Chain A
Amino acid sequence: MSLLNLDRKTVRYNGHSILSDISLRIEPGEKIALIGQSGAGKSTLLELLYEQTKANASLVPQELGLVRSLSVFHNIFMGRLDQHGTWYNLANLIKPFEAEVQKIKPIVERLGLSDKLFATVDQLSGGQQQRTAIGRALHKGSDIFFGDEPVSAVDERQAHTVMQCINEAHDTVILSMHDTNLAIGYTDRLIGLKGGELVLDTPSKGMKASDLDELYSH
């Protein structure tokens, strides 16, 4: 049975159709990139898919959903807010438990945020914030990862590390991306959208960035 299934799905907003007539099957274990111009409907499609499998998926939305006045540690800890009782959570909010810090340390080390563990999010750069949000998803430890442009503000060298982290930690990965090179390099299936329509669905293997120019032309 497939993991996710859309059958001739259309999404309208204020009379405009944002997605029209999308049919899509996604199997467990797939690594997928949604590509296309901004406004093509990538985010809407991603959200639609996330809604179907919310319970065992983690999400890094485009606006990241971080709590700016809390530390990196607390924001990452939030990924497992459901795993502990209320009192444990509240005590950890006031004074972090050593056990929790030890669990989160390897994650921030991988993401290159070690020195920022207890800095509040509002002191971080855009790339650091993005990595914090990814850290939260990694800590949550779901099978499926959804990311809306998860590495758009991360510099190129780190982007590779982060993409590796995401792929290693999750069985199924679904990303919307504008960097076609990263998309080809780290996924095995490309889904192209144009004007809300599904115009491309192909294995990533053997694709070149220039093959996708058609998607980005007017």
Chain B
Amino acid sequence: MLRATLVFAAIAALLTFIADLEITTIEPWGELGRMVVGAVTPDFFATESLGAAIANTVAFAILGVALGNFAGFLLALIFHYRSVRAGCAFIRAVHELFWALIFLQIFGLSPLTGILALAIPYAGIFAKVYSEILEESDPAPLKSIPAGAGKISIFMFARLPDAWVHFKTYSLYRLECGLRSSAVLGFVGLPTIGFHLESAFSQGHYSEVAALLLLFYIIIATIRTWLRKRLVPLYILAALLVIPWGGGIDASHIVRFITEDIVPHPLRVADSFDAATWASFAAWLKTMVVDQALPGIVSTLVLTQIALVGAGALTLLFFPLVSPKFFGRFGRTAGHIFLVVARSTPEYIMALVFLLLWGPSMLPAIVALSLHNGAIIGHLIGRHTEFLKIRPDAPGGINLYAYDVLPRMYRQFLAFLFYRWEVIMRETAILGILGIATLGFYIDNAFADLRFDRAMFLIVITALLNLGIDALSRRIRKYLRLQTRTEEL
């Protein structure tokens, strides 16, 4: 495990030499003052639509996650089919924002765009996690069930009840993720808080930013109090009412997008599939691969690897903040608040803040990804330390950390980090939309130029890269014998 750590750290260190980490703003900290002032003077009346923005954010999250949850559950039941497994892996390898960009072309700004953008990748994730939970559920009750009992009865009595508990925990966690995703969907034009954040950020209205984010944190932090099992149907109904329906769906758009727009240009305009057509298709493919896909892949990988190690380093720094082995009640509360803010702020928004401070380079993305993921894993590890039994005469402070706690948590830590690897890569690609030259940058440009064939090609490349990292991570975890329940991440 130590060797794996060193190898990954060394790779990241080498990559920092080729990564673009320059701070390009003349006054890197100048904007910070205005941001801090804004943060302490939140203005809840800056925009009339503040309430609507929050309501929409929650409504999109609830509908998208509910639909994805339901579809994912059904898929989990047939997850033993290879094609289902592969399909789910693919749909979850494409980020929500990319799905949103695709559906924007098909449905325009209809709510369907937002709901499907969340529901589709989430269905893939739910299917995988639910099938794992079902697989791990205790097989013992099956043994003593009467031989003639029906399949559905057996499933409902002997398999589902124990899995259900885990399903609920996981759904709650996913809704939290869904709220973050929903917020970010605003950046591509849907009426969630991201929409208002984008304009507020670009105009420097930091008091408005603070108000929006503050309300957002409160909603996430109190999720356990307002999300009650009995109220779920009511919330779904309310969400359906809140969402601004309208914007008719044009069936011809859908057909044209699928049958024409995404077909590579040389093939679309060709009259016949002769040698000339194939030659121009080959040229198209070469341009796409050499000029866009390859540079995009390289910078996506560079950024991912540095951010992965950064997240790991920050985790080791963060987890004691919320561990009862190191801090008292008061200190831990402060630690919790810090970690809640760091993990509730979507990476996208965090990266945007650092981008405003330091100008466009890989640095804002690396810092944002490291902070966000470090806070998530740090929170989990910190919670795990609660169950550590430390001998009564153990040392305290740094000695306790280095000799007792860290060695025992290290396996768990690496397991979580490797699980997070693929998530970091998905986000890295997305941050390209902010102007950092990862794959998302090329995809966003292609969409902006209405070259949907290029966008689709690059999205598929991104998904494949993600599947590659996922497979590699699984191999490494297997090799290092790292195990953890996926439902926690």
A residues contacting B by CB (< 8 A) are 54-55, 58-61, 63-70, 74, 78-86, 89-90, 93, 133, 136-137, 140
Contacts and interface: CB of A to CB of B under 8 A. Distances in A.
28 contacts: A54-B147, A59-B143, A60-B144, A65-B144, A66-B140, A67-B141, A68-B138, A69-B162, A69-B165, A70-B157, A70-B161, A74-B157, A78-B158, A80-B146, A81-B145, A81-B149, A82-B145, A82-B147, A82-B148, A84-B153, A86-B152, A89-B150, A89-B157, A90-B153, A93-B156, A133-B144, A136-B144, A137-B144
Contacts of A80: 146
A82 B143 CA distance: 14
Nearest to B143: A65
Which of A54, A78, A137: most chain B CB closer than 10 A? A78
Given A79-B144, A81-B154, A140-B146, 8 more contacts: A60-B144, A61-B144, A64-B140, A65-B140, A70-B157, A74-B157, A82-B148, A82-B149
A90 B152 CA distance: 9
Contacts of A64: 140
B403 interface: no
Nearest to B157: A78
Interface in B374-389: none
Q: 9 shortest A-B CB distances, which residue pairs?
A: A82-B148, A81-B149, A82-B146, A65-B140, A82-B149, A89-B153, A65-B144, A65-B141, A69-B161
B173 interface: no
Nearest to B159: A67
Given A89-B153, A89-B157, A90-B156, A78 B165 contact: no
Contacts of A59: 143-144
Nearest to B158: A67
Nearest to A77: B157
B157 to A, nearest CB: 5
A74 B156 CA distance: 11
B143 A61 contact: yes
Interface of B: 138, 140-150, 152-154, 156-158, 161-162, 164-165
B162 A89 contact: no
Given A55-B147, A69-B165, A90-B152, A61 B157 contact: no
Contacts of B162: 67-69
A63 B142 CA distance: 12
Given A67-B162, A89-B150, A78 B145 contact: yes
Contacts of B140: 61, 63-66
A86 B165 CA distance: 22
B426 to A, nearest CB: 33
A86 B153 CA distance: 6
Contacts of A81: 145-146, 149-150, 153-154, 157
A150 to B, nearest CB: 12
A140 B147 CA distance: 11
Contacts of B164: 69
Nearest to B151: A86
B148 A78 contact: no
A66 B141 contact: yes
Nearest to B144: A65
Given A81-B149, A86-B150, A67 B144 contact: no
A118 B143 CA distance: 23
B140 to A, nearest CB: 4
Contacts of A93: 156-157
A140 B143 CA distance: 14
A84 B149 CA distance: 8
A82 B142 CA distance: 13
A64 B158 CA distance: 13
Nearest to B141: A65
A67 B148 contact: no
A69 B148 CA distance: 23
A67 B157 contact: yes
A78 B141 CA distance: 9
B146 A79 contact: yes
Contacts of A140: 146
B244 to A, nearest CB: 36
A81 B159 CA distance: 14
